[in-house]
Amino acid sequence: MTEFTLLLLQILLAHVLGDFLLQPSKWVAHKEKWKIRSKYLYLHVILHGVLVYVFIGEWNQVTVPILLVCCHFLIDLIKLYQKKNILWFLLDQGAHLISILVIWMLFYGQFQYVQGLFLVLISSVKAWKLALAYAFILQPVSVLMYQLTRKWHSEIEEEKDESLTSAGKWIGMLERVLILTFIVINQFAAIGFLLAAKSIFRFGDLTQKKDRKLTEYILIGTLLSFTITILVGLLVCS
């Protein structure tokens, strides 16, 4: 199994190098402008196939690189005719990963192994507890915190141009994901460092401005976020 896992990692590395590190911005811009007529589209997928062929090192095996090149070409071609946004980026990368995984399973006989892992995963109580915990600390906790602090909203006057749109929401979700992850891997000290780092960046300017209400509001939100996530983490790990 180690040999087949190594092959999968080699193919994934070829994808990351070919799709990001070895694809200049000039190629991307040319593909977006000329689409199927862009020479860099074909050069890009050929480079991808060469990387796969070299990395797996099976000199008599050309079927896997060729299939991956064909899949990569079709996926990239579809993306070029869609809007350039985060949704299509995620769909594009997801399609690449699925094609890589399917070809790897079929050609190296790993379908049953992956199926077995999937069955073990979906029958694991801990896996479902983790999935529920991560889902809960994102949007549901955001709504809960809004309801708990809404009575102070009218007292806080913030200029809209002083903050990025939805920045606070994303900061809160990311910090809760980090806290829960630290609890799951038993790294409680890292939570303290995270709180200290946020305090330095978030509260420094506010205390200098002596905006007491806003400082207290942010402090309440931060402590609520940390408290709820820590409680969820402890419940998951119990």
Q: Residue 96: in which H helix or E strand, if any?
A: helix 86-107
Number of domains in the chain: 2
The pTM for the full model equals: 0.79
Q: Which domain holds residue 89?
A: 2-121
Shared-domain flag, residues 211 and 197: yes
Of all residues in the chain, the percent with pLDDT exceeding 90 is 58
Domain finish residue from 66, 101, 121: 121
Looking at residue 77, its pLDDT comes to: 96
Q: Are residues 73 and 136 in the same domain?
A: no
The set of residues, in sequence order, having a beta carbon less than 8 Å from that of 225 and lying 6+ positions away, is 141, 145, 172, 175, 176
Kindly report, residue by residue over 146-174, the tens digit of the pLDDT. Answer: 888 888 877 775 544 456 667 778 888 99
Q: How distant is the alpha carbon of residue 195 from its chain centre?
A: 22
Q: How is residue 27 written in tokens?
A: 């190629």
Do 38 and 112 share a domain, yes or no? yes
pLDDT value at position 159? 47
